[in-house]
Structure 1
Amino acid sequence: MQERNIALKLMYVGTAYHGWQVQKNAVSVAETLEKALSTVVCHPVKCTGAGRTDAGVHAEVYIANFHTRSSIPTDRIPLAVNTRLPDDIVVVKATEVPEHFNAIGSCLRKEYTYRIYNSRLGNAFYVNRAWFYPKHLDESIMQRAADCFVGTHDFSAVRAVGTEVRSPVRTVHYFNITRTGDLIECRVCANGFLYNMVRAMVGTCVYAAEGKFAPEDVSAILESRNRTAAGPTVPPGGLYMTQLWYDEDVL
């Protein structure tokens, strides 16, 4: 059997995991998926994922790909692997893709959504699913701050200090902040993200809403490339990967 390149569409709740990436001494989504897949295709499997989601971060949509010589039909793979996975990881589709396809390298754009539960009292159903923030936030001020991030910029001011990357320049296509009742959603789409970038962007918008600086000051903060000038990195439990864009029909 010739080797096939299989793309998997999946979703997961990240609370129990140390992020996507395989790690030596912590349980990850990739390791859990690879172990399940290896029992289905009867050989060791290495998955390439669409991005390195942090510990505790979720994915409503995620793409991973792996290579196999197994002849199992693609429509059987989700059913077979899901019986070997914990309930918080679900494979929803498998597609045979061209040899050159790579879940991260072939990804054109990504969207993350950060959810804030903004109410004086907490909500048990949002524990580890949204950031509980009891002080009222004005989403219109947050939106004015968010607008400053749109475009092509050096995002050094909103990334984890000390992380190696070829270039801190990224293009943000949109950053939309909406409120439905007590739930604030911050949706940001870019051609790529730096480590902790979305969580630091949201923290900066929250600081603007708190009056720590004017929302329009965010442009100057970005230009400064100074991480300490921006807002904090908000907790991981409110962050979700929500959309991915590919040329191939893997979604």
Structure 2
Amino acid sequence: MEDTLQRFFLEIAYDGTAYHGWQVQENAISVQQKLHEALQKILRYPVETIGAGRTDTGVHAKQLFVHLDILADSIKDKARFLHSLNALLPHDIAVYRILPVDQGAHARFDATERAYEYHVHFCKNPFLLHKSWQLREIPDVAIMNNAAAFLVGTQDFGCFSKSHTQVYTNICSVLQAYWQETDEGLVFHITANRFLRNMVRAIVGTLLDIGLKKKAPESILDIIGSKDRSKAGTSVPAHGLYLTKVVYPYIDKAF
């Protein structure tokens, strides 16, 4: 077998309900662990993967890219490889594509945008269990969107970050942030170049406080300026959160 390595991107999706997040960890089942186990069964040698980012326990992903290095002659038929990989993965994890990329391509560091959604609903619905958060009170969407507009731009979002996380900076560039009404309830959309740990869930909790008239829309400016997590709202439950899109500068050319 030739020992030349080829880098690939895998596009995956998963229901995070049964997992303690994306990343491999001790004494807990993760999405990455299940992916590694399936890959090793097919390839017959261990493979490490790097994801575009981490999702916490219970968070879902409609699109996540990971990169991995595989011996060049391990994959001769991509369609057959995907079929075999999906057959070995649990029903709540799917692989959509395998894509050859340059050896220097990096699923985490090359991503220029990431998008999330947070889903809420108001009536009891067994089909939304673990997929959306049920609220008892209906917030004012217009007021929440007025407040969400203050999120757009490049600024320090430390007030929405989980405490004691090791990151080089709390500066993020938010490209869009808005609420949308749906048949089931509401969806919050947010896109940025990067996100801090727990950032989206803290933002949603803060905006819901504003939508329920507990805080004024302009208060979000003071919250951001404080850089103090205790000034922001409570983090909402993980099961309403979805990573929906990851963008790369070479996606059109390579994929």
TM-score normalised by the shorter chain: which range applies?
over 0.9
Task: State how 1:50-129 maps to structure 2 within 5 Å.
Answer: 50-69=52-71, 70-73=73-76, 74-117=78-121, 119=122, 121-129=123-131
Task: Give the Cα–Cα distance (whole angstroms) in 2 for the partners of residues 77 and 64 of structure 1.
Answer: 16
Indicate which of 151, 155, 158 corresponds to 1:149.
Answer: 151
Superposed CA offset, 1:154-213 (max 9, x none): 101111111111001110000021111332010100000000000001111001011121
Runs of at least 5 residues in structure 2 that lack an aligned partner in the other structure: none
Long gaps (5+) in structure 1: none
Partner AA of 1:206 in structure 2: L
Q: What is the identity, as a one-letter code, of the residue corresponding to 1:225?
A: K
Q: What amino acid maps onto 2:85 in structure 1?
A: V
Q: Percent identity?
A: 36
Task: Return the offset for 1:216.
Answer: 1.4
Q: Which has the higher helix share?
A: 2
Aligned residues: 249
Equivalent runs, 1:144-223 vs 2, <5 Å: 144-223=146-225
After TM superposition, the runs of 4+ consecutive aligned structure 1 residues lying more than 4 A away are: none
Q: Which residue of 2 aligns with 1:8?
A: 10
Question: Equivalents in 2 of 1:148, 1:183: separation in Å?
Answer: 23
Q: Deviations over 1:202-233 (max 9, x none)?
A: 11100101112101110111001111111110
Distance 2:74 2:31 in 1: 25
Q: Which amino acid aligns with 1:174?
A: Q
Q: Distance in 1 between matches of 2:250 and 2:45?
A: 26
